[in-house]
Amino acid sequence: MAEKLIVIGGTAAGLSAASRARKEKPDMEIQVFEKSGFVSYGACGLPYFVGGLIHDINDLVAINAESLKNMRNISAWIHHEVLLIDPEKKEVSVKNLDTDQVSIHSYDKLVIATGAVPVVPPIPGIHSDGVYYLRNMEDGIRLKAAAREHGRVCIIGGGAIGLEAAEELRNAGLSVSVYEQFPRLLPFLDNAFSQALEDTLIKHGINVHTGTQIAEILSEDGKASGIRTAFGEIEPSDIILVSAGVKPAGALAEQAGLALGLKGGIIVDDEMRTSHKDIWACGDCVQMKNRITGKPAYVPLGTTANKQGRIAGGNVAGGHDTFKGILGSMVTKVFELFIAATGLSKEQAAGEGYDAISVSITKADRASYYPGGRDNHICLIVDKKTGRLLGAQGIGSESIAGRINVLATAITCGMTVEEINELDLVYAPPAAPVYDPILIAANQAMKKITE
C-alpha cells in the first residue's frame, strides 16, 4: 500500500514540499489542505494587485488546485481548515469551510506549512470594520475593493509590505499616511539609507510619521474613521491598513505537542523534521537559524519558504537534504528607490559580540560618461578583528539587488573584505563602472580596519 502524505498549507512551502515529494515518490498519495480559496500564489505580489499594476488576481497564481491534480497527481483541497493533529493516531481533523462538515484523515507522513499570521497590535478599535491586513489573496481582494471606494488610508507600520502598499495606493490616487513607532523606517538600515527612503516617500506625496505610536483607531457606528496618536493628534481615514509584521502560525503544532521556539515558531532540525519523527515543518511557521551566528532567528521570506519546502518534501520521501540557515537577504522597491540588505546590521553584529565597523560609499552604477547612470549607495558591516564580511546594505537603482546578491554570496562563503576586493567583476560602460561599487566599498573597509 502506498505511503500517504498530508500537507497542511498550500502556498509556497507546502506546495514546494508536496511537489518535491511527488517527484521523489511517484506512487505516494498526497493530499494538501488549504483553508483559503487559493493555492500556490505569489503573496509578495499583493501590493501591486491592490494598486492596479496587476489587474487580475489570478495572475499571481502559479498553479491552481485542478491543475495540481491533473498535472502532478496532488489532491489540493481549498477552503479546508485543519483543526487538530493527533500525532499518536497519525490523524488530522479537517473542516470543510463551505459546508462546516468535519472529517478525519489518516497519514503516514505529515508536513506542516501553515505560514505566518499578522501581528495584531493591542490598539483600541483594532477590530473595527475598515481595518485591513495584507497577508493572503482574500486580504488583497478586500483591500483593493475598499481602495476603489475610498480616498484616504493610514498605514500602521513602516516595514517592506506596508511601504510597497503605500506606493501602490498612492499611485492609485489615494491620500496615504504611514505611521511607524520606531524613530525611522526599516530601522535595520543605515541611518542615511532610512532617511533617503523617507525623503523618497515624502517627495511622492506620502505623509510619514516616525517615532509615533497609535493610541486608538477611531470609529463611527463600528466602522473605522481615523486614528489618534499617542501625542493626541487625530487623522481621519477611510481605510486602516495594519502592517505591523507577522508571527509563526504555530497553534496547530502547539496543540499537537511539538516543540516551539523563537516567537512560537516550530523547532526543526536541519532536515526540517520536528520533534516528532513523522512530522516535518517548513516556511514561515518554523524557527530558522542565522547562518552567521548559528543562533535561532525568524525572518519569514518567500525564498526561504520555497527552499525549506523542497528540502522537507525530499526528506519525507526518504532523502537527507539539509537547510543550513538564512542571512535574511531582502530587496524592496519604493517608487524609484530600490533597497536591499543581507546579513547582520551593525547593531546586530555588535550585539553578537563582534567588533563591528561599517563603511558607506556612493558610486554610479555604470560608467560616468554613459547616459542614464544612477548612484548606488552601499554599506558594509565588517568584523574588524578578522576582516570577515557580516552584512551589507544598499539603496539606489535596480542594479543594487544584484550587488547585494554578490555580497550575500560572499557572506555565505565566509569571505573577508580583502578577498572581496580581489573579485573579478564584470565591466562594460552600459552595465557597470570599471571599478565596481562593491570593490570600492571593500577597499574602504580594508583601510578602516587598519586605522
121-145: per-residue pLDDT in tens? 999 999 999 999 999 999 999 999 9
Question: Quick one: average pLDDT of 49-67?
Answer: 95
Residues recognised as catalytic: 44
Q: How many CB atoms lie within 10 A of CB 118?
A: 19
Q: Is the pLDDT of residue 246 over 90?
A: yes
Strand partners, 377: 362, 395
Q: Which domains does the chain have, with CATH numbers?
A: 4-117+247-316 (3.50.50.60), 131-244 (3.50.50.60), 336-450 (3.30.390.30)
Above 80 in pLDDT, residue 1?
no
Confidence of residue 165 (pLDDT cuts 50, 70, 90): very high
Whole-prediction pTM value?
Answer: 0.95
pLDDT, residue 397, reads 96
Q: Give the model confidence (pLDDT) of 301-337 as tens digits.
A: 999 999 999 999 999 999 999 999 999 999 999 999 9
- Residue 4 and residue 317 in contact, taking contact as beta carbons nearer than 8 Å: no
